[in-house]
Amino acid sequence: MEMTIDSSMRLVVVGGGVVGLSCAWRAAAGGARVTLVDAAPGSGASWVAGGMLAPVTEAWPGEEDLLALGVESVRLWPGFAARLGEAAGREPGLRSEGTVVVATGSGDRAELETLASYLDGLGRPVQRLSGKELRRLEPAIGPEVRGGLSVPDDLAVDNRLLLTALRAAAEKAGVAFVARNAAGVVDDGTRVAGVTCDDGSVVEADAVLVAAGAWSSALHPALDAMVRPVKGEILRLGHRAGAFPAPSRTVRALVDGRPVYAVPRDAGGLVVGATQADVGFDLEPTVGGVRDLLRDAERVLPGVAEFALLEVAAGVRPGSPDNLPLIGPVGPEGLLVASGHHRNGILLAPVTAEAVVAMLGGGAVADVVRVADPARLLRRANG
Ligand code: GLY
């Protein structure tokens, strides 16, 4: 059953990335009067991203809550994509070929075995494969790869098709777009009143959702220090006539301890990512970052040397202090945040949108989302 929101509610969503667009679309479809404030919706980290929907292969001991949240969202993804395709009148580019995660040297294989044992222990068995078995599955994988794991349930999505579809669905659901940067959330000391834009205009609101990615913390003092930028560089490669075909599955790899991934696109293209660095709002790709990605990708998928290098880009992920997202009320009444999704914004968009709509409509929020309550960070800060 669709959650309904009081149709007199004026919701302003700040941020037109995958999380803001998803929440705006679902809230408008649920009945709210939604305005989305963003000077360039769909142009930030969500545009740069690779589009892996891979909670299991991104899992790590100690991050069980994040794994549970990711597994729930990947479960929601096929329904979310189908509803989106119908609402937008265009496909969001979901792929279901699965993921293999592979290792080269012995240290990398030991790391992978740690991951496999951890997943076994959680009752999420993965299939261990030799290098030969991996090459039978994905002939693009090169001889330096000695072993790996197959996770058939992981998905992937073409993030750019997704953003276009989300924008179309949001528009069709009645979301009004204000093409300005938000300067801050206005409140009267008790509850939110609206959002001030960079030209001084104010969009009035009964509720405000801050979904401004790495920029979220600057929008209200209650969000101070909750979100920081985490830079990532990423490449887009195109298949050229005569080149070895790209893999059909997402390939994640550890190469001498460095993680690299290749996410397939239609027409044989690949998105290769990503570096990770806490260097502030730096959106300039570096020579060293591109060199590392190309070198590591070529060691795993030697055929990429023949591909076209179509695009080099950098984005800033919204990192949180504990790597869990922030989804829920914060500060004055009527202020909500959906940010801090770090490496998982695209994966977690459906579960986030569902939770935000439940919060706005007074419905029950799924248990797995409770760990994302921003109040946990205030408790930490207050000792
Ligand atoms: N989701 C992968 C990344 O952030 O690079």
Q: Kindly state whether residue 341 falls inside one of the protein's structural domains.
A: yes
Averaged pLDDT for residues 359-375: 94
Q: Kindly state whether residue 333 falls inside one of the protein's structural domains.
A: yes
Specify the DSSP class assigned to residue 89: T
Residue 221 shares a structural domain with residue 239? no
Ligand 1 centroid to Cα of residue 56, in Å, is 13
Residue 345 shares a structural domain with residue 276? no
Name the pLDDT band for 379 (thresholds 50, 70, 90): confident
Q: Could you tell me which residues come within 8 angstroms of residue 124 by beta carbon, excluding any fewer than 6 positions away? A: 56
The closest residue, in CA terms, to atom 2 on ligand 1 is 343
Residue 257 shares a structural domain with residue 377? no
Residue 172 shares a structural domain with residue 300? no
Q: Kindly state whether residue 68 falls inside one of the protein's structural domains.
A: no
Measured between alpha carbons, how far is 92 from 224 in angstroms, rounded to an integer?
34
The closest residue, in CA terms, to atom 4 on ligand 1 is 343
Ligand 1 centroid to Cα of residue 190, in Å, is 37
Helices (H), 246-309: 287-300
Residue 181 shares a structural domain with residue 234? no
pLDDT digits (tens, 9 = 90+) for 234-246: 999 999 999 999 9
Q: Probe ligand 1: pick from 155, 157, 317, max atoms within 8 Å of CB?
A: 317
Establish whether residue 51 lines the binding site of ligand 1, counting it when its CB lies within 6 angstroms of any ligand atom.
no
3-state DSSP call for residue 304? Answer: helix
pLDDT digits (tens, 9 = 90+) for 73-117: 999 999 999 999 999 999 999 999 999 999 998 899 999 999 999
Number of domains into which the chain is organized: 2
Residue 239 shares a structural domain with residue 375? no
Name the pLDDT band for 144 (thresholds 50, 70, 90): very high
The range of the structural domain enclosing residue 347 comes to 10-48+161-225+321-381
Establish whether residue 52 lines the binding site of ligand 1, counting it when its CB lies within 6 angstroms of any ligand atom.
yes
Name the pLDDT band for 45 (thresholds 50, 70, 90): very high
Model confidence at 272: pLDDT above 90: yes
Q: Kindly state whether residue 204 falls inside one of the protein's structural domains.
A: yes
Establish whether residue 317 lines the binding site of ligand 1, counting it when its CB lies within 6 angstroms of any ligand atom.
yes
The closest residue, in CA terms, to atom 5 on ligand 1 is 274
Q: Kindly state whether residue 69 falls inside one of the protein's structural domains.
A: no
Q: Probe ligand 1: pick from 18, 46, 48, 52, max atoms within 8 Å of CB?
A: 52
What share of the chain in percent tops pLDDT 70?
99
Could you tell me whether strands 202-204 and 250-255 are parallel, antiparallel, or unpaired per DSSP bridges? unpaired
Name the pLDDT band for 33 (thresholds 50, 70, 90): very high
Establish whether residue 318 lines the binding site of ligand 1, counting it when its CB lies within 6 angstroms of any ligand atom.
no
Asked whether the beta carbons of 141 and 101 are under 8 A apart, the reply is no
What share of the chain in percent tops pLDDT 90?
89
pLDDT digits (tens, 9 = 90+) for 192-217: 999 999 999 999 999 999 999 999 99
Name the pLDDT band for 1 (thresholds 50, 70, 90): low
Ligand 1 centroid to Cα of residue 70, in Å, is 13
Asked whether the beta carbons of 208 and 11 are under 8 A apart, the reply is yes
Establish whether residue 255 lines the binding site of ligand 1, counting it when its CB lies within 6 angstroms of any ligand atom.
no
Q: Give the predicted TM-score (pTM) of the model.
A: 0.96
- For the ranges 116-120, 165-169, 191-195, 270-274, which has the lowest average pLDDT? 116-120
Residue 256 shares a structural domain with residue 134? yes
Residue 28 sits in a domain whose CATH number is 3.50.50.60
| Phi, psi at 204, each rounded to 5° | -75, 150
Ligand 1 centroid to Cα of residue 343, in Å, is 4
Ligand 1 centroid to Cα of residue 229, in Å, is 13
